[in-house]
């Protein structure tokens, strides 16, 4: 099995990506749409949501409720990603140990986490009882 995306740019730097029946525009300058790094950070956070839900279920928390991930990508002097962090809030009431276990399992499950070089794996924190 393979994933396929077709990227087209008729001029300039922005490109339209065709993914199955969907289109997403990415503008490296961030003027017309999210830039490339914002898109990567969005994909990482979006992938991490189901990983957290499954990780929670596998660690005895059947429903995490609302999940909010504040993703920060720090850039180096060359405007390349140097580090990524997640500040995660979940609606469910969880203790620190359970939160750590859920994050550990989510790291194993998230496909974007797996695809990134290890020095760009998100540093994570999780807080329960967030509404």
Mean pLDDT by 10 residues, the chain (131 residues): 93 95 95 95 97 98 97 96 96 96 97 89 86 66
pTM of the model: 0.88
Number of Cβ within a 10 Å radius of residue 12: 11
- Residue with structure tokens 């750590």? 100
- Residue 125 is predicted with a pLDDT of 87
Instruction: Give the residues across from 71 on adjacent strands.
Output: 86
Q: What domains, with CATH codes, occur in the chain?
A: 1-34 (no CATH), 36-127 (3.30.300.20)
d(CA 131, CA 127): 11
Question: Which stretch of DSSP H or E encloses residue 1?
Answer: none
pLDDT for the residue numbered 131: 66
pLDDT value, residue 83:
95
DSSP secondary structure string for all residues of 29-89: TSSSS--HHHHHHHHHHHHHHHHHHHHHHHTT-S---SEEEEEEEEE-TTS-EEEEEEEEE
Q: pLDDT at position 121, please?
A: 84
Amino acid 122: pLDDT: 79
> CA 85, CA 77: separation in Å to the nearest integer?
18
């Amino acid at each position: 099995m393979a994933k396929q995306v077709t990227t087209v740019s008729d001029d300039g730097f922005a490109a339209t990506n065709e993914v199955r029946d969907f289109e997403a525009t990415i503008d490296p300058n961030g003027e017309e749409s999210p830039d490339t790094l914002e898109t990567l950070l969005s994909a990482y956070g979006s992938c991490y949501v189901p990983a957290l839900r499954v990780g929670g279920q596998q660690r005895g928390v059947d429903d995490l409720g609302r999940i909010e991930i504040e993703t920060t990508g720090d850039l180096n002097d060359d405007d390349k990603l140097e580090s990524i962090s997640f500040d995660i809030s979940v609606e469910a009431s969880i203790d620190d140990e359970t939160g750590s276990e859920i994050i550990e399992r989510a790291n194993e499950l998230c496909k974007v986490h797996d695809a990134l070089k290890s020095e760009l794996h998100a540093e994570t924190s999780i807080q329960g009882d967030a509404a």
